Structure 1
Amino acid sequence: MPRTAPDDASLAGPGDLPHRRLGRTGLTLPALSLGLWQNFGEADAFATQREIVLHAVDRGVTHVDLANNYGPPGGAAESSLGRLLARDLRPVRDELVVTTKAGYRMGPGPYGEGGSRKYLLSSLDASLRRLGLDHVDVFYSHRFDPTTPLHETVGALGAAVRSGRARHVGISSYSARRTREALHVAAELGVELVVTQVSYSMLNRWIEVPDASGESVLDVAADAGLGVVAFSPLAQGMLTDRYLRGTPRGSRAARGGPLRGEFLSEENLEHVRRLDALARSHGRSLAATAIAWALRDERVTSVLLGASSTRQLDDNLAALAAPALTDEELRAVESVPADTGINLWAARSSDL
């Protein structure tokens, strides 16, 4: 069962956004963080990117999340934020939590992806150059790599901290089994993993499902004192009103992005329509309901959301002030299968 956050579980943060402590660390993150996975590539106007990021910071969003391959092309999102950090955000750099990752394909050849020490540390160096920083606040292994020993991957994360290039380190999209293994290796090596970043939404609840040991990702994280940062709480836009009546032109699904056409099955859309009707009956949008649902569990530190405009960002932030979910709404989500087949990363990491 989810652990509902008590009324005093949130700490006051800049801009009056609720903040939660990241596991057992001294870091706190806003309940809603800004992810630069999409809408921050070279095809997107830099002026719009600048407007979104600066507006987010003004609103109290102190956590900005990246990866080496965010763009397109890879590196573009880090370069964009680097321009902002060099000028607009320089005075508040120490108030921000900047995170990045490496693990997925970034370049050609055998050291263009994976979990090797060579790739992770060279990628971190390149990320720091693009960002114009001497360190990031959290550096993640972006995915479990079955071709590289975990001692090497976790050891590289430890080297990042010892060298001062990262303040903290974590893992992303690791299954419960692999999270336990990574924690065991980290203890052997004297490396402190502090956070796991995972996809999580009302349509993608894999981190709640116990594995053969009887523990879920959330269970393992809680037992180890890991913070949990949840991405894609809106299921790539499915948990909005965007796809209720078909696939609009120019949408992520229409562009052939990560939201693949098979995810928009009639069965999945029927679940979404039912959840949308219930949300509206309680005076909130489906997106606001989805954000509140992902944050209902005290084990979730923050949810990551992208934004294509300041208006969309403000709409998402407004969800933090929405009334608590009703028992009826929670039961409706429980009626949706935990595995609706939309976990984009399962075949490459989270089911290994």
Structure 2
Amino acid sequence: MSWQPASDRYSKMKYNRTGRSGLKLPAVSLGLWHNFGGDTPHDRKIDMCRTAFDLGITHFDLANNYGPPPGSAETAFGEIMRTEFSGLRDELIISSKAGYDMWPGPYGEWGSRKYLIASCDQSLKRMGLDYVDIFYSHRFDPDTPLEETCGALDHIVRSGRALYVGISSYNSQRTREAAAILKDLGTPCLIHQPSYSMLNRWVEDDKLLDTLDEVGMGSIVFSPLAQGMLTTKYLGGIPGDSRAAQNHFLKKDFIRPQIIDNIRKLNEIAERRGQTLAQMAIAWVLRGDRVTSALIGASRSSQIVDCVKALDNLDFTAEELKEIDGYAREADINLWAKSAERE
């Protein structure tokens, strides 16, 4: 018998309104940045997507370059749309992005109209979709006028390629500028996707969440688990099959003794709350209803189940937050703001 979605899936999830829009997103969304390329068995991808949807996760987040190789995550998700999620398109929020290096030559990255529209078309073809729900400028381009980047996003909506647009890893200043341009064009910027976690708190220093409140944008934060650092995975060293062992985005030198000591203390707080460290880390970014959705990644379905259980306890006492602040220290792991905000 073929898989049928859980009938009670919408009772298991909390849904939050995205800024001043009419769109609601699940408090936990599934990102396909890792473990959705050619290096992961397709059966495992299917299982993760089924599990997520059964738990009420309606939002699946992709980008043109997700893999490896680039584009393969979208191709795999397109196959799942045809087989597992057939007939469910109107219950799903599917997003993609363009901004990072995707193909050779001068038109294969950043924020030009040429690149963004071509990339969106390629993404739709890989996924077999008529439109995506959200299309993002993946990073700010210092060499392209922001009016051009935003004009391309506006065109992508007006041409029916996307329902909404967003930006990722823009600082407060650039966010205000993009929001103003898009508002004037008549395509309000729906959402911002920044990195944010207990070990990566740049959005607080930048007052980004305050900016989003002012301009009416929602937020979906990626790497709320700091690429797995905010789990118990690294408390005993660097496992051979971990992201840190690959030394790609998560560098081995991020796993420093002082950071591990702080993570161990945070884990003790989580245990007192009756949560795993991952659950507390997700609850922490969602605290106070400032963030619309926490974007998680997973290598297996059990991790998705664990993360969604964070919603069972989203409340913190003032004493807990103060204690967490003693160990939730900036760890200098924000790779994205540095690359996206170069002037």
Name the TM-score class by shorter chain: over 0.9
Equivalent positions of 1:1-352 (< 5 A) are: 14-210=10-206, 216-322=207-313, 324-336=315-327, 339-350=330-341
Q: Is the 8 A contact 1:203 1:339 kept in 2?
A: yes
CA distance, structure 2, for counterparts of residue 86 and residue 280 of structure 1: 41
Q: How far is 1:336 from its partner?
A: 4.1
Q: Is the 8 A contact 1:172 1:197 kept in 2?
A: yes
The residue identity in structure 2 corresponding to 1:131 is M
* 3-state DSSP of counterpart to 1:258: coil
Q: Is the 8 A contact 2:287 2:314 kept in 1?
A: no
Provide TM-score, normalisation by structure 1.
0.92
Q: Is the 8 A contact 1:33 1:64 kept in 2?
A: yes
Q: How far is 1:275 from its partner?
A: 0.8
CA distances 1:129-154 after superposition (whole Å, capped 9, x unpaired): 00101100000000001011100000
Judged with a 3 Å threshold, the aligned counterparts in structure 2 of structure 1 residues 141 and 13 are, in CA distance, closer, same or farther, namely farther
CA distances 1:101-121 after superposition (whole Å, capped 9, x unpaired): 000111111111000000000
The residue identity in structure 2 corresponding to 1:224 is V
Provide TM-score, normalisation by structure 2.
0.94
CA distance, structure 2, for counterparts of residue 20 and residue 76 of structure 1: 30
CA distance, structure 2, for counterparts of residue 270 and residue 18 of structure 1: 33
Q: Is the 8 A contact 2:266 2:327 kept in 1?
A: no
CA distance, structure 2, for counterparts of residue 230 and residue 348 of structure 1: 17
Q: Which moved more, 1:317-326 or 1:19-28?
A: 317-326
Extract structure 1 runs of 4+ deviating beyond 4 A.
none
Q: How far is 1:297 from its partner?
A: 2.9
* 3-state DSSP of counterpart to 1:138: strand
CA distances 1:12-71 after superposition (whole Å, capped 9, x unpaired): 982430100111111111100000000001111001101110121122110000000000
CA RMSD of aligned residues (A): 1.6
Aligned length: 336
Q: Is the 8 A contact 1:289 1:325 kept in 2?
A: no
CA distance, structure 2, for counterparts of residue 122 and residue 198 of structure 1: 24
CA distance, structure 1, for counterparts of residue 92 and residue 80 of structure 2: 12
CA distance, structure 2, for counterparts of residue 88 and residue 284 of structure 1: 32
CA distance, structure 2, for counterparts of residue 329 and residue 233 of structure 1: 18
CA distance, structure 1, for counterparts of residue 308 and residue 105 of structure 2: 41
Structure 2 stretches lacking a partner, 5+ long: 1-7
CA distance, structure 1, for counterparts of residue 126 and residue 83 of structure 2: 14
The residue identity in structure 1 corresponding to 2:274 is G
Q: How far is 1:81 from its partner?
A: 0.7
Structure 1 stretches lacking a partner, 5+ long: 1-11, 211-215
* 3-state DSSP of counterpart to 1:153: helix
Judged with a 3 Å threshold, the aligned counterparts in structure 2 of structure 1 residues 49 and 203 are, in CA distance, closer, same or farther, namely same
Q: Is the 8 A contact 1:13 1:19 kept in 2?
A: no
CA distance, structure 1, for counterparts of residue 49 and residue 110 of structure 2: 29
Q: Which moved more, 1:342-351 or 1:85-94?
A: 342-351
Q: Is the 8 A contact 2:183 2:189 kept in 1?
A: no
Q: Which residue of 1 aligns with 2:4?
A: none
Judged with a 3 Å threshold, the aligned counterparts in structure 2 of structure 1 residues 222 and 13 are, in CA distance, closer, same or farther, namely farther
* 3-state DSSP of counterpart to 1:90: coil
Q: Is the 8 A contact 1:15 1:58 kept in 2?
A: no
